[in-house]
Amino acid sequence: MPEHVISSLEVLAYVFIFVIGMIVAVIVVLYAIDVAQTGNAIRRNYPVIGRFRHIFERLGEFFRQYFFAMDREELPFNRAERSWVYRASQNIDNMVAFGSTRDLRPSGTVMFVNCPFPTLEVDASLVEPMTIGADCEHPFKARSLFNISAMSFGALSVPAVRALSEGAALAGCWMNTGEGGLSPFHLEGGADLIFQIGTAKYGVRDEAGELSDEKLREVAAYEQVKMFELKLSQGAKPGKGGILPKVKVTPLIAGIRGIPPYQDSISPNRHPDISSIDDLLTTLHRIRSVTGKPVGFKVVIGAYGWLDALFATIKERGSEWAPDFITLDSADGGSGAAPMSLIDNMGLPLRETLPLLVDKLEEYGLRDRIRVIASGKLVTPTEMAWALCMGADFINSARGFMLALGCIQALQCNKDTCPTGIATHNPKLQRGLNVKRKAIRVQHYVDNMVHEVGVIAHSCGVPEPRRLERYHARIVTENGRSVSLHELYPTADGDAAVANDPFT
């Protein structure tokens, strides 16, 4: 055999021996570390091998998502829901064949009742604009039924905020800033904006951290800012303030919020200056008076006796003291990071609280004065149509729009390691999010949501989605039979509507 060939084989052999030696050395070192440490019993009893448990546990999230979970069993959003949003945002045909894979038997399943003479084919995307705060100096005539819920700059990356802003402008929907303040990236897309005031008053706070009339006027001076929303609580963490880990508090974000950089941004669990119904109404009235724009509040309902006190006080003071809207969030999570004890267990879900709120407004004669915005896992036309049947005027979504941007539900929103660039400030990860292309996806998502809800409305025999009533939907009960939402949540107006509906 030629000498140079032997030499090459010898080199390969030496390399192989070296690699094997390094592997053995690493195993020996890890073995020694595991045997000596006392913090982990599995690694102490099963050196080296015990480490694989953590690796497999971490990989399990991804294997379940792609290989083992059925289409309709994963949480927080199953594969069928995510796939619908992905296709809608890419404007891909959402037709399916050979029947539904949705099991209609479980308790809680919602079904809509088609009528014998559906609305004749017209544009299913047509929705009448609705005015919020008609008596304000600057009322807001909202064009869109489906809108972007509160997600702060800081929790979201620069390209994500820019894509949402541009997409909202293309779709004609509004975008809520979240509690992190108003950034240039919210403004540059040209979308209608709802400025959220969180418990830390980011963006509208003075040096003492209190609400500043001067800062309110500065924000209100932007024509794009259409309304102000006072956040009392949110779905991810009812009873706890916003949490932004210090790794995400860059100098840019800190400057917009008015806080020190690279320190945890943790808001109080409530507004320190609001401790009663009177305080709440006084603060809302103050914001409206200073800005001239509609103002409302966002809340997750748990205890609900305070609603009677709230609406009774409004009736006493006069309708000018009423909020122009209430954003009702659901207690089944949200886009924010939160302790599991709160995200899993605190507050009531939207299915229980939305009819409660709407009925209370009807009871106190405030239904026409106060608009209702529903939020909380309403990412497909089915959930959106249900909320409209229950009395919502508008629908907000946060995670639906994250999915539209390309979110893969990696569950890393709070770690600055989001693989799609949506919830991270790592430039290498942000590079994958193309603003122009994702803005188009946001537009398509809004358009397809509104269109398909319109299709549901037409099948029920009404001309547009806001004409849906409770009797247009049924819900499966524990005995396996369905019952009309109107029977579960009866209202006087609903009785009149049923009596006048020729198709019921």
CB count within 10 Å of CB 242 equals 28
Whole-number Å distance between alpha carbons of 405 and 373 = 23
* 421 touches 148 (CB < 8 A): no
Mean pLDDT of all residues in 437-456 = 94
Which tokens hold the place of 447?
């358009």
451 φ/ψ angles, rounded to the nearest 5 degrees:
-65, -45
- List, for residues 236-287, the tens digit of each pLDDT value: 667 667 777 787 788 888 888 888 888 887 788 889 999 999 999 999 999 9
**3-state DSSP assignment of residue 182:** coil
Mean pLDDT of the chain: 86
- Residue ranges of alpha helices (H) inside 365-484 are 381-390, 399-405, 427-430, 435-459
Q: Which residue has the higher pLDDT, 137 or 105?
A: 137
**3-state DSSP assignment of residue 40:** coil
By the 10 Å C-beta count (0-12 exposed, 13-18 middle, 19+ buried), 209 is classed as middle
Cα–Cα distances in Å, from 258 out to 69, 212, 248, 250, 300?
44, 12, 15, 12, 27
- List, for residues 309-343, the tens digit of each pLDDT value: 999 999 999 999 999 999 999 887 665 666 676 77
70 has pLDDT over 60: no
By the 10 Å C-beta count (0-12 exposed, 13-18 middle, 19+ buried), 306 is classed as middle
- List, for residues 144-192, the tens digit of each pLDDT value: 999 999 998 888 899 999 999 999 999 999 999 999 899 999 999 999 9
Return all residues near 338 (Cβ < 8 A) that are at least 6 apart.
236, 237, 240, 243
Poorest-pLDDT segment among 133-147, 256-270, 471-485: 256-270
- List, for residues 74-112, the tens digit of each pLDDT value: 566 677 787 888 888 888 887 776 667 777 888 888 999
Share of the chain above pLDDT 90, in %: 51
The DSSP code for 102 is: -
Q: DSSP states of 286-327 as a string?
A: HHHHHH-S-EEEEEE-SS-HHHHHHHHHHHHH-GGGS-SEEE
Whole-number Å distance between alpha carbons of 259 and 254 = 5
Q: Which residue has the higher pLDDT, 6 or 407?
A: 407
Cα–Cα distances in Å, from 60 out to 52, 53, 56, 79?
12, 10, 6, 16
Q: Indicate the pTM of the whole model.
A: 0.84
- List, for residues 204-232, the tens digit of each pLDDT value: 998 888 999 999 999 999 999 999 999 99
Q: In what order do the strands lie in the sheet with 473-476?
A: 110-112, 473-476, 482-484
* 377 touches 333 (CB < 8 A): yes
Whole-number Å distance between alpha carbons of 216 and 226 = 13
* 173 touches 146 (CB < 8 A): yes
194 has pLDDT over 60: yes
Mean pLDDT of all residues in 125-142 = 93
421 has pLDDT over 90: no
- List, for residues 387-419, the tens digit of each pLDDT value: 999 999 999 999 889 889 988 777 777 677 788
pLDDT value at position 68?
A: 55
DSSP strand pairing (225-231 vs 243-244): unpaired
Return all residues near 207 (Cβ < 8 A) that are at least 6 apart.
none
DSSP strand pairing (110-112 vs 473-476): antiparallel
Cα–Cα distances in Å, from 122 out to 127, 226, 393, 423, 459?
12, 31, 22, 39, 12
User: How many residues appear in the chain?
Assistant: 504
Return all residues near 333 (Cβ < 8 A) that are at least 6 apart.
76, 235, 236, 343, 377
3-state secondary structure labels for all residues of 77-95: CCHHHHHHHHHHHCCCCCC
Written as one letter, the residue type at 133 is: G
Poorest-pLDDT segment among 9-18, 440-449, 460-469: 9-18
Confidence of residue 1 (pLDDT cuts 50, 70, 90): very low
Q: For residue 376, give the nearest of 344, 404, 400, 403 by alpha carbon.
A: 400
The DSSP code for 463 is: S
pLDDT value at position 500?
A: 55
